[in-house]
Structure 1
Amino acid sequence: MKNCKKFLILFLSVLILSSCASKDGIKRIKIGHGLDQSHPVHIAMEYLAKRAAEKSNGQLKISVYPSQQLGTERECLELLQIGSLGMTKVSASVLEGFVPDFKVFSLPFVFQSDEHKFKFFESETGKQLLVSTEKFWMRGLNYYDAGSRSFYTKAKPILTPDDLKGLKIRTQESPTSVKLVNALGGSATPISYGELYTGLQAGVVDGAENNPPSFFTSRHYEVCKYYSLDEHTAVPDVLLISTVVWN
């Protein structure tokens, strides 16, 4: 038992050191996320890495790994908690599974306008919500605007809730998102974003819901011919850092 404990401690130590390794005085942090390289949020994170290097005179190097190279959003959050990953960007809907208060973003029509949304992000309540993640071994740094989410489908447009009946709709791994789709008459099917294209092709799901940039950069339009602009939720992305690295 003692040997097992020693091995576990050693293993976790290696993971922690690997998330922010230091060579020749240079600190290195990895950011993992699930979006395509052409997505605006990925481009923003690349800019963050560039500015961090400039501001630190090359002493801080941030490497960005897109397209789930380091795992799904849920997996990246789990790696963040134990310190084996330095930073990640996830949807607030997925973060709900770790920090329950973030479920507010998955409620329909919460924000009256973009101005209302941005005002909340900059408010004390919005900032406190970011900091509340610390008790879960991660720290929220900022919100990324992820636009508004709408339904897109293969066979027909979604003009009323009745049009969702009998359709398997991909949702994020968010209990609130699942309840929303089911309440509207659809059959919520949570699957990984990276598996969605093939899932649509194979008929695992009949449609999904996301913002226009993600719909375009993922090339889901090749499978789904109907994008119904209902903008039922405005779920932001959240940039987080492991408290192991932060502290």
Structure 2
Amino acid sequence: MSLPVQAENWRGWNIHPPGYPNTVALESFAENVAERTEGRVHAQVYNNAVLGDQPDAIEQTRNGALDFGNFNMGPMGPIVKETNVLSLPFIFSSVEHMHDIMDGEIGRRFADALAEKNLIALSWFDSGARSFYNTNRPISSPADVEGLKIRVMNNDLYVDMVEALGGNATPMAYGEVYQSLKTGVLDGAENNYPSFQSSNHYEVAGFYSVTQHLIIPECLCIAKASWEALSPEDQEIVREEAIKAAEMQRQLWVEGSRESRQIVLDAGVEINEVEDKSAFQERMQPVYEGFIEENPDLATLVEDIRATN
């Protein structure tokens, strides 16, 4: 069947490889949108960041050069400062808490902030909970972090987080972490189960401690120009399919995390659950104080999220 003349050919950005939960959900979104709009919107997902790195892709989507993408809120911070709140350690008490917040009224506030920067957030994906792993010992309390050289993503909040626990934060490219753990340049890093497993970091870091200190959502975002070019009927279809895609992604993420956990466990990694996270959370007080001092206008947003714990 030939597409109608007015068909929109959408290009979508994705950092992940084929088969990854986000990729499966995005490709399902694209397929369902094309089917339900009877070809008025023909969407294609480009995987493995072939259309540029994440900060570049966010800019391309903002200016309409790309039509949609699945973006993490970590790299969104420099563009939409409200999203930095989502990078505060322990802002969410659990993954379920994050879902409740982002699917509700507070999530709408983040969507409004993104819309001001020409990004229409239609649904929220999961990127799991990040926990510490290292080559030395289980981490059960902040005292166990003291003196460890821990790799973090390049964000001052993550540096402050590790230093508040007494560790030495080391921002480093992800691709360098395996060798650095192996040679002792690093003692540890932090990430979710699927990344810990797929990066093979579990081969060189035998202790995984479930601190869940960072739970950072991702958006399925549409370029404002692409969104506004749709009829109200097609907007409704696209929104519905974005929400369905998020539900699919979250379920696949849970299953993938479970599988990754089992793989590293079978390989001999010692996993310890940190049941009481209060000692870690208390150490974050200066991180929060510094953040609010620099961003007083975001204090209410922080308070509202924490009040729903």
TM bracket, shorter-chain basis: 0.7 to 0.9
1:86-119 Cα offsets, whole Å, 9 max, x none, are: 2222221221221111122222222334443222
**Which amino acid letter does the alignment assign opposite residue 84 of structure 2?**
K
Which of 161, 166, 173 lines up with 1:185 in the alignment? 166
Mapped to 2, the partners of 1:65 and 1:209 lie a distance apart of 28
**Cα RMSD, aligned residues only:** 2.8
**8 Å Cα contact 1:96-1:174 kept in structure 2:** no
**8 Å Cα contact 1:37-1:66 kept in structure 2:** yes
Cα distance, 1:201–1:120 mapped onto 2, change above 3 Å: same
Displacement of 1:48 in angstroms is 0.9
Aligned to 2:113: 132
Displacement of 1:197 in angstroms is 5.2
1:221-246 Cα offsets, whole Å, 9 max, x none, are: 34433322111121111222222322
Cα distance, 1:106–1:31 mapped onto 2, change above 3 Å: same
TM-score (norm 2): 0.63
Instruction: Tell me the secondary structure at the aligned position of residue 38 of structure 2.
Output: coil
**8 Å Cα contact 1:83-1:244 kept in structure 2:** yes
Cα distance, 1:67–1:171 mapped onto 2, change above 3 Å: farther
Range that drifts further, 176-185 or 217-226: 217-226
Is 1:92 matched with 2:73? yes
Mapped to 2, the partners of 1:45 and 1:215 lie a distance apart of 23
Aligned to 1:55: 36
**8 Å Cα contact 2:4-2:39 kept in structure 1:** no
Instruction: Tell me the secondary structure at the aligned position of residue 195 of structure 2.
Output: helix
Aligned to 1:142: 123
Mapped to 2, the partners of 1:220 and 1:118 lie a distance apart of 28
Cα distance, 1:101–1:227 mapped onto 2, change above 3 Å: same
Structure 1 unaligned segments of length 5 or more: list them. Answer: 1-21
* Bigger helix share: 2
**8 Å Cα contact 1:154-1:223 kept in structure 2:** yes
**8 Å Cα contact 1:93-1:102 kept in structure 2:** yes
Mapped to 2, the partners of 1:168 and 1:81 lie a distance apart of 37
Structure 2 unaligned segments of length 5 or more: list them. Answer: 229-309
Is 1:243 matched with 2:217? no
Mapped to 1, the partners of 2:13 and 2:173 lie a distance apart of 15
Range that drifts further, 54-63 or 162-171: 162-171
Mapped to 2, the partners of 1:218 and 1:26 lie a distance apart of 40
Q: How many residues align?
A: 226
**Which amino acid letter does the alignment assign opposite residue 34 of structure 1?**
I
Map of 1:30-41 to 2, 5 A cutoff?
30-41=11-22
Range that drifts further, 52-61 or 171-180: 171-180
